[in-house]
Structure 1
Amino acid sequence: MFVRNCMTPNPITIKPDTPIFEALNIMKKNNIRQLPVVDKAGKLLGIVTEREILTVSPSPASTLSIYEMNYLLSKMQVKDIMNRQLVTVSPELNIEDAALIMRDKKIGSLLVIQEDALVGIITQTDIFDAMLKAFGIRKAGTRIVIETEDRVGALAELLQIVKEHRINVIGVASLEKSDRIVQIMLRLSTADASELVNDIKQKGFQVIAVS
């Protein structure tokens, strides 16, 4: 899967002179947590997040009354707090790399640019949804976890056994336990995998979980 398959296309944007309270209302109304900031020509200038708005306060706030603070906050605009250090990606980037960028840079979203134009935004939630879809979590079936030696052909052998039982594979994932041991998760479109599990064991594989 690629960013283009998971992103929100044509995201809601705001202008830099938008009051921060108005930006916050737009987020709440549309159930989103970030807004790209563009100029009148549509050029991307920055991004503002719900967290930035909720935590912002004028520097002299500690000496002001609550009424004076609210007044100053009401006068603040998005351009005063937006993040100008933008992290952008191509719609053709795969979601694994997108997730890695978010993790390494500790950010919750990536702006998607194509031919210098903003075409979408992809968030952590979008990444999670894509992973859940890849694992087939929302589909009914049976989950089998097999532990085996990390060797060429192990997965192919397992899938051949599944094929012989005429069971469809919904999702596959693997986790390296050590240099030589790997766990393979198969999510299968069957409610009863008992015969398959017995066959997998007879072929020398260790089944460590069935659910």
Structure 2
Amino acid sequence: MDVSYVMTKNPLYIHPDMSVQDARALMKKEKLGRFPVLDKNNRLVGIVTERDLVNASPSVATTLDMYEMSYLLSKLKVEKVMQRKVITINEDVVIEEAARIMVDNNISALPVMRGDALVGIVTDGDLYKLFINLFGARQEGVRLTVLLKERPGELQKITQAIASRGGNIVAIVAFDGKDVTNKMCIVKVANMSKEALLAAVQPLALEIEDIR
């Protein structure tokens, strides 16, 4: 799965000469946390976040009155507070690589490019939605966490055991176990009771970590 599957296509953007005041108002209206910034030729020149805009505002301890603050903010442009060094990705980058880039660089969004053109943006919120889907969080079922041997065919044994008893797997995720000899697996199954699922899987598992 690449980022084009989860990204927001044709995202809202602003220009460098927009005032900070107007950018904040637009961000609040659209309920967004950041805007890509494009120049007059629609080339990406920066990104501005809600934090950037808030930090640009005068402190609450300022001696300026509200009219003076409003005037200063109306003159302050986005280009003065935006982040100019923007990490971007192409639309064919796989979603886990996008997540790794965001974590490694401590950022919450990546503009998605097609050549020099901005075609989307992927955010931490998009990753949360994908996480919900991968784990079948919105579907009914029994959720089992099991420790399996790290060797070919172990997952197949589990899925066959569940299917042979009429269970319908709605989500399955495998990840690193307690050491290199094993893997942890979370499987969510519909049309099957806890007792039936446990009876199917327990003989094939190293440990049953959790069932609910």
Q: TM-score, normalised by structure 2?
A: 0.91
Separation in structure 2 between the aligned mates of residue 41 and residue 202 of structure 1, nearest angstrom: 64
Separation in structure 2 between the aligned mates of residue 65 and residue 208 of structure 1, nearest angstrom: 60
Separation in structure 2 between the aligned mates of residue 63 and residue 180 of structure 1, nearest angstrom: 61
Q: Residue 199 of structure 2 corresponds to which residue in structure 1?
A: 198
Distance 1:204 1:114, change over 3 A: closer
Q: Residue 65 of structure 1 corresponds to which residue in structure 2?
A: 64
Separation in structure 1 between the aligned mates of residue 77 and residue 12 of structure 2, nearest angstrom: 17
Of stretches 89-98 and 186-195 in structure 1, the one that deviates more from structure 2 is 186-195
Q: Residue 172 of structure 1 corresponds to which residue in structure 2?
A: 172
- Aligned pairs for 1:1-211 (under 5 A) are 1-57=1-57, 65-67=64-66, 68-176=68-176, 177-190=178-191, 192-203=193-204, 205-211=206-212
Q: Which string of whole-angstrom CA distances, capped at 9 and with x for unpartnered residues, describes residues 77-121 of structure 1? A: 101111110111111111111110000011110000013210001
Q: Secondary structure at the match of 1:171?
A: strand
In angstroms, what is the RMSD of aligned CA positions?
Answer: 2.1
Q: Which string of whole-angstrom CA distances, capped at 9 and with x for unpartnered residues, describes residues 31-55 of structure 1? A: 1011111122211111111010001
Of stretches 195-204 and 113-122 in structure 1, the one that deviates more from structure 2 is 195-204
Distance 1:116 1:70, change over 3 A: same
Separation in structure 1 between the aligned mates of residue 173 and residue 113 of structure 2, nearest angstrom: 30
Which amino acid is the alignment partner of residue 108 of structure 2?
G
**Percentage of matched positions with identical amino acids:** 33
Of stretches 190-199 and 2-11 in structure 1, the one that deviates more from structure 2 is 190-199
Which amino acid is the alignment partner of residue 16 of structure 1?
P
C-alpha contact 2:18 2:78 (8 A) present in aligned 1: yes
Q: Which consecutive segments of 4 or more residues in structure 1 shift more than 6 A?
A: none
C-alpha contact 2:146 2:205 (8 A) present in aligned 1: no
C-alpha contact 2:157 2:204 (8 A) present in aligned 1: no
Of stretches 143-152 and 9-18 in structure 1, the one that deviates more from structure 2 is 143-152
Separation in structure 1 between the aligned mates of residue 65 and residue 179 of structure 2, nearest angstrom: 58
Q: Secondary structure at the match of 2:24?
A: helix
Q: How far has the Cα of 1:175 moved from its partner?
A: 3.0
Q: How far has the Cα of 1:6 moved from its partner?
A: 0.4
Q: TM-score, normalised by structure 1?
A: 0.91
5+ long unaligned stretches in structure 1:
none
Q: How far has the Cα of 1:66 moved from its partner?
A: 4.1
Q: Secondary structure at the match of 1:143?
A: strand
Of stretches 195-204 and 43-52 in structure 1, the one that deviates more from structure 2 is 195-204
Distance 1:63 1:131, change over 3 A: closer
Q: How far has the Cα of 1:151 moved from its partner?
A: 1.9
Number of corresponding residues? 210
Which amino acid is the alignment partner of residue 107 of structure 2?
I
Of stretches 97-106 and 178-187 in structure 1, the one that deviates more from structure 2 is 178-187
